[in-house]
Chain A
């Protein structure tokens, strides 16, 4: 029975209907649930109205959902072949954004793309995951032991990280580096080699601090003592904590929050959307949302573990880690645990760029799941 199924899966290509059947619909449901939470939050952020946020977000999500399903049906081997072009394009866009990008909040992060704003760094994170997975896909255990083999992927991580730092976008740069590092780790790079790279980082950071922009320094300073300057840079964190704290255990009730509706919360519909939920649904509501997010993160891990090829495993793990880092950084940010850093809560925060790239990533994850048992022709060993 098992062998029989394996035989079917081993076919180079199988029917679209079968593929649709193979999509993890439970996982899609989890994603839809998260989008639903986002819709509810944006509805509340607009003072109990679908306009201007929730309705647009819903349309975007519908579009993303279709895109995700389409990507899910693309053969994972084709994706593997497209890894390098995707990485190349993303890198080119990152260079482009530094030249022609729109300045937003003191940094060049956006480029106009077909009427919507595109943040190439978001795309880069997915492209990096796919490219690194493609690189490590064929690596034998022996080759993994060869330091020279690790130099190209290291450069593949370094190039976008440096470009993003130059925008400058410290938060995304750190996240991108973390994603790269995770792939290295999962691919089987030795711990000590990882340590060799990671340990000097704090010292490098100490030096790099001197080169930071004043607003970035201010964020870090404010992080260390947020209440020292409650109307300046610390305002966001302070107001965010007030919103969280005033929610208490059970919350003020849906649409009853005051902090967000009265605009005390900065960027309440984008980066600080979680505080809206926290204020209205309390700690219990927060735990429920955290649980949903954890299920999505662990679901990606499960898909990775279930996959039979290294490419798929690394892609799934990378996508999961990418999503996890969004979630962890965003929530740590709004609770005042780390400096504020322009990281949205994917599918909940209002905004197209992050949501679409995250949905694209989920599409790849679904593709990994659908094609979990396909066999790659080993081109190198041909």
Chain B
């Protein structure tokens, strides 16, 4: 029995030991649980939330672009497209091959898809084909079992009802490139477009709006269980332009197939009513992808349809520049309002002879007469007296050679040379350069928009800035009232002299542009011609006598320019017109600009047809 007891005793001791050990182990586990659940609980709770919640972006509709009367010039239309959900197919290549059997994919489309497959994160659907027709969709739906991962859905795409008429102002949208990615997660959404030119680009962020997000509870394989939270995005803002589409179209029909650019501006406040460039292009082509052939045609076209000539075409302003020279002379008191300069038909500076356009000379002219006759010698002499830097300062005040802050990306500021500019290019400024600038030749370059701004400022004496944005989300932007714009602080008497000169150009007997007379009762037009050489006319040609620029090849002919404002006694509209290689400002550009001015003056918005925008139910 003692032996038995000994075994029992050992058992009892060891069993108790074991029991204690078991309590100890469970105690340690409890401590571990405390550590994970209570001490680190917050961290794991966050992880659990991020586990189950998946956010998806919803793209808001892009804001519309309207003209000043509400006509839609940039809207949205439904776009049926085939998307590939990469995660839902085991064999991406096989699915795409099968898709090709149904809706033929071009090689470049396959290449793009392959590129995006490598670039994008797998859970973001990839656009296989956009702008599906009903036939395409029917074929895809019928063959759906053979097309795992292919999904047809509807997005929006950009619609430009006015097409080429307003292409350079509105611009266009295109898929974002790799460089555009990153800042806005919305850009990763399939089929998204961003503004690439014109106001589409300038106001891209406002038009784009902010993406909304849906927070969804997902399970471990990403299937959506339920929607937890929905934050509606901010839809893109509607953008109202200052452009009057009907006027724009009238101006375009005036320009016909010339390579030209005309700008119509409300000279009281700088609103651009029409900004035309011919030839133009169809902006919706960029939306669906530009073909190689189309691209080659555009880039090889000497008339550069893709360039907005109104803001990016720079031309020597020629004689249209002479008001700025006159103002520089008057303001710097190198000539008095009644002082005269004698024109013998030429001006000798050193051993160089500068010719007036009239080889017989104009005799003694005051400022008004100088402008009326567009006497070159008068302005050679004036420029010589003022000097280039004071001339440049005045030209800049009128908007020539400075950045005009127009809302159109790619706008150029032209060039108003100075001594410093010339020296920075490693050359000394010569007096001959100054003299050439006096008639808007030489280095001076300006865009049609700058010329229009310049004329507006001459007409009103206010430093109006050209702009095309009128409303955002229906809210009027500042700058509508004339009083919104500061005075130029130039002598009204001096400005009036220039205006009188411009009036005389058109309306006085012996003016250079009688063809541009308005012919409307009670209203007169004041304007200035310009013909700017693109090639130096050699002495030999000049003395040959029967030199005619019409006989030159097209690209060597001078540009024809005309700037004007009307009505003369209460300036309302300013027009600038540049006809590339149009020979003479007076004969080619003058009557055209006059016609454009008549269109602007006789526009009657009340009687216009219903805005097309109301028929486009493109935003529900």
Contact = CB atoms under 8 A, between A and B. Distances in A.
Partners in one complex: yes
Interface of A: 139-142, 144, 182, 185-188, 239, 241-249, 258-259, 262-264, 278-279, 282-283, 286-287, 290, 293-294, 297-298, 301, 304-305, 310, 313-314, 317, 321, 324, 327-328, 331-332, 335-337
A297 B22 contact: yes
Given A294-B26, A321-B18, A335 B32 contact: yes
Contact of B40 (A139, A187, A245, A301): A245
Interface in B18-53: 18-19, 22-23, 25-26, 29-30, 32-34, 36-38, 40-45, 47-49, 51-52
B45 A301 contact: no
A245 B219 contact: no
Interface stretch (B4-12, B84-92, B319-327, B375-383): B4-12
Given A185-B18, A248-B41, A259-B48, A142 B3 contact: yes
Contact of A290 (B29, B47, B51): B29
Contacts of B33: 244, 278, 283, 286-287, 290, 331, 335
Contacts of B552: none
B218 A283 contact: no
B26 A290 contact: yes
B29 A335 contact: yes
B30 A287 contact: yes
B217 interface: yes
B11 A188 contact: yes
Interface of B: 3, 6-8, 10-12, 14-16, 18-19, 22-23, 25-26, 29-30, 32-34, 36-38, 40-45, 47-49, 51-52, 217-221, 225
A307 B19 CA distance: 16
B345 to A, nearest CB: 89
16 contacts: A141-B3, A185-B14, A241-B44, A242-B47, A242-B51, A245-B40, A246-B49, A249-B41, A258-B217, A282-B37, A310-B11, A313-B15, A327-B26, A328-B25, A331-B33, A336-B36
B44 A244 contact: yes
Among A278, A310, A335, chain B packs the most CB atoms within 10 A around the CB of A335
A141 B6 contact: yes
Given A242-B48, A283-B33, 17 more contacts: A185-B14, A185-B18, A186-B18, A242-B51, A244-B33, A245-B44, A247-B41, A258-B52, A264-B220, A278-B33, A282-B37, A294-B26, A301-B15, A305-B16, A314-B11, A317-B11, A324-B25
B30 A245 contact: no
A264 B23 contact: no
Contact of A304 (B10, B15, B37, B49): B15
A336 B44 CA distance: 14
Given A245-B43, A262-B52, A283 B11 contact: no
Given A141-B3, A141-B7, A283 B37 contact: yes
Contact of B18 (A142, A182, A248): A182
Contacts of A327: 26
Secondary structure at the A interface, as helix, strand, loop or mixed, is helix
* 8 interchain residue pairs of minimum CB distance: A245-B44, A246-B48, A248-B41, A262-B219, A246-B45, A188-B10, A283-B37, A263-B220
A262 B6 contact: no
Given A264-B220, A317-B18, A321-B18, A278 B48 contact: no
Nearest to A238: B47
Nearest to A310: B7
Contacts of B6: 141
B29 A337 contact: yes
A246 B52 CA distance: 12
B121 to A, nearest CB: 15
A328 B29 contact: yes
B11 A246 contact: no
A262 B15 contact: no
A327 B44 CA distance: 24
Nearest to A244: B36
A297 B218 CA distance: 40
Contacts of B22: 294, 297-298, 301, 321, 324, 328
A240 to B, nearest CB: 9
B176 to A, nearest CB: 30
Nearest to B50: A242
Secondary structure at the B interface, as helix, strand, loop or mixed, is helix
Contacts, number: 146
Contacts of A259: 48, 51-52
Nearest to A304: B15
Contacts of A141: 3, 6-7
A290 B23 CA distance: 10
A298 B428 CA distance: 106
A249 B29 contact: no
Among A141, A246, A298, A327, chain B packs the most CB atoms within 10 A around the CB of A246
A302 to B, nearest CB: 9
A9 B449 CA distance: 117
A185 B13 CA distance: 11
B23 A294 contact: yes
Contacts of B221: 263
A258 B48 contact: yes
A62 B40 CA distance: 39
Contacts of A242: 44, 47-48, 51
A310 B40 CA distance: 47
B14 to A, nearest CB: 5
B39 to A, nearest CB: 9
A304 B16 CA distance: 10
Contacts of B220: 262-264
A155 to B, nearest CB: 22
B28 to A, nearest CB: 8
B44 A263 contact: no
Contact of A246 (B23, B30, B41, B218): B41
B307 to A, nearest CB: 53
A283 B44 CA distance: 14
A335 B36 contact: yes
Contact of B7 (A188, A244, A317, A321): A188
A245 B42 CA distance: 7
Contact of B219 (A263, A332, A336): A263
B406 to A, nearest CB: 53
Given A242-B47, A297-B22, A262 B218 contact: yes
A380 to B, nearest CB: 13
Contacts of B45: 245-246, 248
Given A141-B3, A332-B29, A258 B37 contact: no
A237 to B, nearest CB: 11
Contacts of A335: 29, 32-33, 36
Contacts of A301: 15, 18-19, 22
Given A188-B10, A258-B52, A246 B29 contact: no
B378 to A, nearest CB: 83
B51 A245 contact: no
A306 to B, nearest CB: 11
Nearest to B5: A141
Contact of B36 (A241, A314, A317, A324): A241
B40 A264 contact: no
A287 B37 CA distance: 11
Nearest to B19: A301
B18 A262 contact: no
A337 B25 CA distance: 12
Contacts of B34: 283
Contacts of A314: 11
A186 B40 CA distance: 39
A248 B7 contact: no
Contact of A313 (B11, B26, B40): B11
Contacts of A264: 48, 51-52, 219-220
Nearest to B10: A188
Nearest to A243: B48
Contacts of B44: 241-246
Nearest to A230: B47
A182 B219 CA distance: 44
Contact of B14 (A140, A186, A241, A337): A186
